[in-house]
Structure 1
Amino acid sequence: MLALLSLPFICSWFGQVSSSLTPFVLHERRSRSPSGWVLERKHDASAVLPLRFGLTQSNIQNLEEYLYDISDPDSSNFGKHWTPLEVAKTFAPSAESVKVVHEWLIDNGIPKDRLRITPSQGWIEVDATVEEAEHLILADYYVYKHESGQEHIACNEYHLPQHVAPHVEIVTPSVHFDAIIRPTPMNRDTALMKTDITVVNTTYLGVGHCDTQISIDCLRALYDFDYTPIASGRNSYGIVEYTPQSFRQSDMDLFFTNYSISELIGRPPYQVSIDGGYQQTFNQSFDYVGESHLDLQYGMGLVTSKLNVTLYQVGDTVNPNTSFNNFLDALDGSYCNYEGGDDPTVDAIYPDTQAGGYDGPSACGTTKPAAVISTSYGYNEADLTPFYATRQCNEYAKLGLMGVTILYSSGDSGVAGNGQVCLNDDGSQSVNGTRFNPSFPGSCPYVTSVGATQIAAGNSVDDPEVAAARVTASGVFYSGGGFSNVFGIPNYQKDAVATYIKNFKTDNFTTSAYNSSGNSRGFPDVAVNGAAYVVAAEGEFILEWGTSASSPTMGSIIAMINDARLAIGKSTIGFINPTIYSTLFQEAFNDIRSGNNPGCGTEGFTAASGWDPLTGLGTPNFERLKELWLALP
């Protein structure tokens, strides 16, 4: 890992003048370069940067309060979701922020005609030379090179005048580095959740063999989940995939034929293309279809043909930076400009001028979000700066305000991060690290994080499940879980976390291995079976493991609860965490009390009575949950 160069604190005369009579203060600092990046050279002073100043959002300090007001089952406003317009108006930057930043830039040598203020007034941008940018924010810009050959422009830290800093949330490009979404097989290091696979020659074995092969019928039996939609015209369920992940209709038909769901044969999901997303056909091997097939075959099969599943297909095949932010832009037009908009050093920017790239404009408020959205991809929390993660986490809260349930898989590496990397004492990541490495977005308190369970060998669907665990020659799979190093503990989780930390005892690691303060977000929130799912791919049946299976299954359950509420004239349930952690809802989950989630040279956390950081509150009982949610306003 390359150590960062220290920033010179000797300011030029121009830099001192640019403070506008107030001293400069540190705004953001990166502790070190992410793994795989090497400093190449000082950036050319005459090169031009797309400098962007994201303005502070109004009322952002009240975001959690607003969300709880409509999500807490004891609130008189439960279920009274906001419109997109209400969300946009509430969090728009103040006129004062626009004025202060605009005047500061003009006072310090940037001509007015070079400044652009977005229509939403969410950010101010200027094409500035490196020399101008360095003087404005007291930073040194360097060119970094990734081991893949990709180059990146960044500084180690930057500063703003004291009177300007409160009005700016982020400056780009600056300290942020790429975090690329790219699915790969089990035994390859990447930034994504991974799924283990095994090819099997058998087909459907029935519910008598759910300990070795999970099917749709196994899941229905496990979670008392037998429901036919009746309000599908008002309901919606979305699953997110990132190109080049794709699906093959012939495999989809093979799966639905095997499970006698004839109504879905020949029927693809309803596809929404975002930023050029499409079903590529240049490679349809398992590496390119495994995730989509797992998500769609079970997501569609569980909600039946009576509810159309929306597939959000995101990104073209040549841009490596397609990110969660690109997807979120399409759902919420205000997010395109929120706190500076997309970061060109982290997110994909469209039009994509590369050969074969998507040359249309970035998707911005182009599609209505589904009532439930499941995503089986994720980063390590340490891959991103705290601000970048917080900015995205706040958008999930905004979607919650609009009545959307957001589900993310919790990870497949136990207490370690993707690629089995752990944290070192200096914050870097390596396979030899000793500190636990939480995942993101599962660690965001405004999403529902889904861990994985399994049926123990020789047991049936009537026996208690255990935390998922699988060790093979190609790798390991343990349900991801732990405690965030970025996000504080949400109110809805305080009692559950306090109880676990008080009772948790271990002799295989110390409290220094994780954030044991009791004041940080714990995850996952719930768990669903994630072991040995039978999936059709490449014309045959294979078994897949992973929390990638658990999240879309949980999404199907929530979608059907929404259907039951909509059928009697009630709202969708939206952000579910305050409700599921309430005392009343504890009885609707099957407590998991066996198993652990090893990683970082330890045995990880241990399942326990009540909530724990590997299976959350436990697995869902659909009928109990439906009855309880139907009783709410």
Structure 2
Amino acid sequence: MRCFTSALLSAAAAQVALATPIKARSAYAVKETHFAPREWTKLDRANGVGVMQLQIGLKQGNFEELERHLYEVSDPEHERYGKHLTAGEVNDCVRPKKETSELVLEWLLENGIEPAGSTTAEDWIIVHVPVSVAEHLLDTEYHNYRHEDGTIVARTTHWSLPRHLHSHIDTIQPSTSFFHASANRADWVAGGAEVPASFKTPANESISSVCNVTSVTPECFSTLYSTKWYKPTAGDKNQVGFTNYLGEFPVRPDTKLFLQKYRPEAVPSAYSFKAFSIDGGILQDGPLTRNQSDVEQISHEANLDVQAIAGISWPIKISSYSTGGRPPHIPDLTTPDNNNEPYLTWVNWLLEQDSFPQVISTSYGEPEQTVPKSYAERVCRQFAQVGARGTSLLFSSGDRGVGGTGKCYSNDGKNTYKFLSDFPVSCPYVTGVGATMNFEPEESAYRAPRNVSGQFRDLYSSGSGFSTYWKRPKYQDGVVPAYIESLAGAYDGLYNKEGRGYPDVSAQGLYFAYFWNGTEGTISGTSASTPLLSGIISLVNDALISSGKSPLGFLNPWLYKKGYRGFTDITKGFAYGCNSTNKGFPVTEGWDPITGFGTPNFPELVRAAGADCEW
């Protein structure tokens, strides 16, 4: 992040120079409270001299206006369609009002704190303070909390603000919450891949000749989704990117091996794709070290992402974003650990750039309830800013179906049984991607859990759900109510009928061929389907840009009005999860919260997008 350069810095300098007296300290009131999850034990007070970084989310000046612009430039029936906003226009919409910036700055200075940095739009402020100062600032006490796995973190159960600041500050983290995410991959393949029980050899010889269900390759994908005959021509005007967290980075020698076998003409791209480090994210051009491969077992996900994208979309330019850091998390039964990825750090860094890829894939997520709502809402709003600038953000829907086996309980202190929705895929400003398997026909991805000493483990079921944080967006009104009505009351009380449903679309997600640590294997999950579909969307953008038109940008308004015509409806399967092999939501004709509108048909996608192409 950049240091303060404009209004906030100017205000700080003016106040110090003029020695303006600080207003009297306002009465404090609790701003946010969270229960300490049952997996954590409260210990002694946290070390007061330990330094922590606080991220302060200021109320944005006019997000509603930004949202209006986002939907207008993303609506294929609106006259502004495709006329995406500049960085300056986006910043002007979300920049806090002068009163907000001045009041928050005054409060910080009153407590002897000078900001360490902010976003260009000044809607986020960063400060570095000892724990004791954070306690005074937030009128609270930080304690050490030990998780049952031994993890110890410093957190509090509530934090407060002066009353007059409640309407000016949305969130401050880390404070009452914890945060964890994982790659949405299902790579528990013991003894090799197994043929799904429902698999039938495709009658279509062009598919059956190149598609092996136990090791699915780029040639299969390009044949199945009809991208094989398209040759990108937009050059440097079109890019696709992907994110890496949890210490991951794409291993270039492994990518070279993959491309040598499956896309020989693309081999140079293994070393030419751009890699960016954010907040200490790892950059490494050579192979994994022994510790990285044997102990840490990292970069399975990053390798899958770059190989899935390069295998389908070459020669479109690729960017890799590796982000370090550990933001807040509320642990629950599914995600108890505190290893996590900073969506906020990544997206705020991205928004500081003059330009970025027109499609970005993210294969990470976690149960929505583990993320503080105030934090989730602000991260989601940052994603809206990216969409307004003309980029499609695709997020994986998860691999736990309607919830992890035996983990489907609320995290509000009541332990209520419920389906668990995922974040960030539940954000209405991103496109959620589910997973399919088999070829003719495709069906929702599923692999039964193993019974180990009476416990079911390693369930893989394409992620499915309805948000508890966000209401159903208008673009879903034409399809989601009909699906809910078709359930005839099944699962009532287990999900939010009024929530944003996901995923929106899907793609293959079982047994991808890929290389890791010099060896070929297979890997599964919506972590696979998301970069694959991202690569295909980047091909659609290539056709648009080559036709002199704008890229698709935020997909969902177009997708729900026209784009769905470019997807093949999936009508077979279920979302499993929560209790061993119990079935959850069913796949149906039309949109459903397991496969969305289905899987891509590239020529029809190009037609639906309005590109000038001949086939």
Aligned counterpart for 1:595 among listed residues 558, 564, 573: 573
Summarize the alignment of residues 141-152 of structure 1 with structure 2, pairs less than 5 Å apart: 141-147=142-148, 149-152=150-153
Give unmatched runs, 5+ long, in structure 1: 1-17, 184-191, 334-364, 456-460
Q: Does 1:197 align with 2:197?
A: no
Q: Does 1:522 align with 2:527?
A: no
Partner of 1:468: 445
Listed one character per residue, the Cα deviations across residues 225-255 of structure 1 (whole Å, up to 9, x for unaligned) are: 2311101221001122235434444433332
Summarize the alignment of residues 101-112 of structure 1 with structure 2, pairs less than 5 Å apart: 101-104=104-107, 110-111=111-112
Q: Which moved more, 1:210-219 or 1:587-596?
A: 210-219
Question: What letter is aligned with 2:412?
Answer: G
Q: Does 1:255 align with 2:258?
A: yes
Inter-partner Cα distance in structure 2 for 1:565 and 1:332: 24
- Displacement after TM superposition at 1:91 (Å): 0.9
Partner of 1:556: 535
Partner of 2:545: 566
Inter-partner Cα distance in structure 1 for 2:305 and 2:132: 48
Partner of 2:370: 383
Tell me if the contact between 2:61 and 2:95 (Cα under 8 Å) persists in the aligned partners: yes
Question: What letter is aligned with 2:32?
Answer: E
Partner of 2:168: 167
Secondary structure of the residue aligned to 1:153 is strand
Partner of 1:346: none
Listed one character per residue, the Cα deviations across residues 248-281 of structure 1 (whole Å, up to 9, x for unaligned) are: 4443333223325244267335132313421372
Partner of 2:331: none
Q: How many residues align?
A: 551
Secondary structure of the residue aligned to 1:512 is coil
Question: What letter is aligned with 2:168?
Answer: H
Inter-partner Cα distance in structure 2 for 1:44 and 1:255: 48
Question: What letter is aligned with 1:93?
Answer: P
Summarize the alignment of residues 388-399 of structure 1 with structure 2, pairs less than 5 Å apart: 388-399=375-386
Tell me if the contact between 1:277 and 1:316 (Cα under 8 Å) persists in the aligned partners: no
Listed one character per residue, the Cα deviations across residues 535-554 of structure 1 (whole Å, up to 9, x for unaligned) are: 23344432222111100111
Inter-partner Cα distance in structure 2 for 1:256 and 1:52: 41
Inter-partner Cα distance in structure 2 for 1:245 and 1:552: 16
Inter-partner Cα distance in structure 2 for 1:195 and 1:555: 21
Tell me if the contact between 1:592 and 1:618 (Cα under 8 Å) persists in the aligned partners: yes
Summarize the alignment of residues 124-523 of structure 1 with structure 2, pairs less than 5 Å apart: 134=135, 137-147=138-148, 149-179=150-180, 181=181, 193-197=185-189, 207=209, 209-226=211-228, 227-242=230-245, 244-259=247-262, 261-264=264-267, 267-274=270-277, 275-279=280-284, 281-282=288-289, 283-284=292-293, 287-304=297-314, 306-315=315-324, 322-333=341-352, 365=353, 368-417=355-404, 420=405, 422-425=407-410, 427=412, 434-455=417-438, 461=439, 463-473=440-450, 475-505=458-488, 510-516=491-497, 519-523=498-502
Q: Which moved more, 1:528-537 or 1:437-446?
A: 528-537
Partner of 1:585: 563
Summarize the alignment of residues 78-97 of structure 1 with structure 2, pairs less than 5 Å apart: 78-97=81-100
Secondary structure of the residue aligned to 1:484 is strand
Inter-partner Cα distance in structure 2 for 1:129 and 1:242: 26
Tell me if the contact between 1:40 and 1:145 (Cα under 8 Å) persists in the aligned partners: yes
Q: Does 1:55 align with 2:31?
A: no
Q: 1:105 to 1:268 in 2, by over 3 A?
A: closer
- Displacement after TM superposition at 1:411 (Å): 0.6
- Displacement after TM superposition at 1:76 (Å): 0.8
Tell me if the contact between 1:434 and 1:600 (Cα under 8 Å) persists in the aligned partners: no
Tell me if the contact between 1:26 and 1:158 (Cα under 8 Å) persists in the aligned partners: yes
- Displacement after TM superposition at 1:198 (Å): 5.8
- Displacement after TM superposition at 1:612 (Å): 0.7
Give unmatched runs, 5+ long, in structure 2: 1-21, 195-206, 327-337, 451-456
Inter-partner Cα distance in structure 2 for 1:48 and 1:450: 39
Inter-partner Cα distance in structure 2 for 1:77 and 1:297: 36
Alpha-carbon RMSD across the aligned residues, in angstroms, is: 3.3
Q: 1:631 to 1:101 in 2, by over 3 A?
A: same
- Displacement after TM superposition at 1:54 (Å): 3.2
Secondary structure of the residue aligned to 2:90 is helix
Q: Normalising by structure 2, report the TM-score.
A: 0.81
- Displacement after TM superposition at 1:327 (Å): 2.0
Partner of 2:5: none
Inter-partner Cα distance in structure 1 for 2:239 and 2:413: 41
Tell me if the contact between 1:252 and 1:265 (Cα under 8 Å) persists in the aligned partners: no
Q: Normalising by structure 1, report the TM-score.
A: 0.79
